[in-house]
Amino acid sequence: MTVEAILERETARGMERIALTDHCYSYEYSIRNASRTRINLRGLISKLRKEGKISKSMKIYFGVEAEILDYRHVSITPEIAGEFDFVLVAPNHYNILQPSIFSLRTPSTLAINELYNFQAAVKHPATDAIAHPFLLPPDLFGLSIDEMAEFSRKMMSKVDWKELAETLELAAQRGIGIELSPRFIKYKQTHLLDFYSLCVEKGVKFFIGSDAHSLDELDHLDMLEGVIGQLGITEEMLWHPQEWEW
Ligand SMILES: [Zn+2]
């Protein structure tokens, strides 16, 4: 999956705005790497525009996905964050940073941890938007899709929803976006619609993320059409990164 292939494909689909995001460990936590990537990307985009391979009007943003390490700590420095148009913060990259999570194998204990990390992401000054909150990947937990969906449903029933609602009020005030990606449908965790409905009720904005790690997965965005209609998400309810002049 190259940047060039993504941009050409999305031009063909008539996409008007696109945000490219990679995990921050790809930049090896180095400001030189982040800065160099941004400069290279700008060069590539203007070349593709000149060659007529990508739309001239398509807005392109450049973001980074960091993760919560601990309550007040994210895996990115303010200097590196400054190299990007926006910072996504993942509350639940357990595979990378919190292997101990696997001992938290009851829905109630994981519910506490998920809410705690979500609150940490909402309150952290680096956060512009939050990647895949409360979404549990089956492969990570060594469960089948159905088993994970059942576990996740139980977990969400144990979440302190009053505290979650208050956290979402803060997210709305701070203008933080919440990711809505087709992955929750693929994982059959459709009970998360209750969470997304609460986001709507509290005026929290959404960003539509593919969470794609391959080109074909970009097409899965179409799966979201019904959900967007069901939740009544309109253009004004979408989160966008800060404007950036290329
Ligand atoms: Zn992630």
pTM of the model: 0.89
Neighbours of ion ligand 1 (CB under 5 A): 90, 131
CATH assignment at residue 216: 3.20.20.140
* pLDDT tens-digit map of 206-219: 999 887 778 778 77
What total number of domains does the chain contain?
A: 1
Ligand 1 centroid vs 128 CA: distance in angstroms?
Answer: 14
Helices (H) and strands (E) in the chain, counts: 11, 7
Specify the pLDDT at position 35: 83
Give the tens place of pLDDT for each residue, 38-55.
888 889 999 999 999 998
Whether 38 is covered by a domain: the verdict is: no
Query: How many whole angstroms from 135 Cα to the centroid of ligand 1?
Result: 10
Q: Could you give the CA distance from residue 170 to residue 175 in angstroms, rounded to a whole number? A: 9
pLDDT of residue 73: 87
Tell me whether residue 97 is in a domain. Answer: yes
Distance 194 CA to ligand 1 centre (A): 21
Query: What pLDDT is stored for residue 97 in this prediction?
Result: 53
Q: How far is the CA of 183 from the centre of ligand 1 (A)?
A: 11
Instruction: Name which of 72, 71, 67 is nearest 94 in CA terms.
Output: 67
Backbone angles phi, psi at 83, to 5 degrees: -80, -10
CA of 89 to the centre of ligand 1 (A): 8
In a domain, 226, yes or no: yes
Distance 132 CA to ligand 1 centre (A): 7
Q: Which residues of the chain have pLDDT under 70?
A: 25-29, 95-104, 243-246
Domain that holds residue 160: 66-233
**Does 70 reside within a domain?**
yes
90 CA to centre of ligand 1 in angstroms: 6
